[in-house]
Structure 1
Amino acid sequence: MKFADFHAGQIIEAGPYLVTEAEVLQFARAYDPQWFHTDADAAAGGPFGGLIASGWHTSAIAMRLVADAALAGSESFASPGLQYLKWPNPVRPGDSLRLVADVAEVRRSEKRPTLGILRWRWRLFNQRELPVLELEVTSLFRLEAA
């Protein structure tokens, strides 16, 4: 989508994305090697009752879904950061995730009119409609002069 295609109040949906055990293990071993992400036997007796995906893996899945559904082919070039990030429920191998992105604000920078600013809320839900990720992010877009 191009920057001009976004508008406040817009809802963008993407998915499903099937999370596999192999992917959970691979990501965790590379980036978040805690036992409840990397050892299914130990995790079975842990507080979550089984293996769970890293929250960072969950965030990366959301980024992939957003990139495919909304940012591919856009003028997007960066993000200055997040307002908040929450993982209210764990993601487990076999979960099917879907994204809902709510556009809160779309505007051109007053100081730099070739900069588009998009503020939006991303949420991921599993197949039981439980939220597994919620964040608010600002995305920046390189635009032509107005």
Structure 2
Amino acid sequence: MNGDDDGQTYFDDIEAGTVVSCGSTTVSEDDIVEFAEQFDPLDIHTDPEAAAASQHGGIIASGYHTLSLSVRLLVDEIRSERAVVGGLGIDDVRWHEPVRPGDTLTVENEVLDTRVSESNPETGIVHEAITVTNQDGVTVLSLENRELVERSGPD
């Protein structure tokens, strides 16, 4: 799938319909609290007693933590090898179920479509669906992403 000898995957090498499993990560309570204390300090993420009294019955991860963990797995598996110019945006971000301490999250990436950029034909736009599930196969996060990727050369 690498377009040139430089090891990069270029836009021209990315095909719609491609599905890639991006691995898994397990979230600890310490991870959840540490992230939340810095970025989303709600009691349901940081205070075990308050979280236990909430409708969640215990600490849950910030949705932004779940999103960040997902991005890390995507970069490790796919994006670090892509000739990424930059992100164009994410749409339809949905947190379906809470992520709890001990959950193992798995990320799957599906290329929905690709098109050459109209404003810069040296690049293309990759539109992807990203789904994150827990160890029970329950979807905890879903979103769509668009990123700008360098083309390998002229047509």
TM-score normalised by the chain length of structure 1? 0.94
Q: Deviations over 1:62-97 (max 9, x none)?
A: 100110110012211311211210000000110001
Q: 2:69 aligns with which of 61, 69, 76?
A: 61
**Partner residue of 1:78 out of 67, 71, 86:** 86
Alignment-derived partner of residue 26 in structure 1: 34
CA distance in 2, matches of 1:118, 1:84: 16
SS at match of 1:23: helix
Equivalent of 2:14 in 6, 28, 48: 6
Q: Note the residue ranges of structure 2 that are not aligned, 5 or more in a row.
A: 1-7
Matched residue count: 146
Contact 1:9 1:103 in 2 (8 A): yes
Match of 2:49 among 19, 41, 52: 41
**TM-score normalised by structure 2 residue count:** 0.89
Q: Which amino acid aligns with 1:2?
A: T
Give distance in 1, aligned partners of 2:76 and 2:88.
20
Residue aligning to 2:126: 118
Whole-angstrom distance in 2 between the partners of 1:111 and 1:32: 37
Could you list the structure 1 runs, at least 4 aligned residues long, displaced by more than 6 angstroms after superposition. Answer: none
Question: Which residue in 1 is equivalent to 2:4?
Answer: none
How many angstroms does 1:47 deviate by? 0.7
Supply the distance in 2 between the matched residues of 1:58 and 1:137 (Cα, whole angstroms). 15
Structure 2 distance, partners of 1:88, 1:6, is 29
- RMSD, aligned α-carbons: 1.3
CA drift of 1:104 comes to 0.4
Contact 1:113 1:145 in 2 (8 A): no
**Alpha-carbon distance in structure 1 between the residues aligned to 2:41 and 2:31:** 13
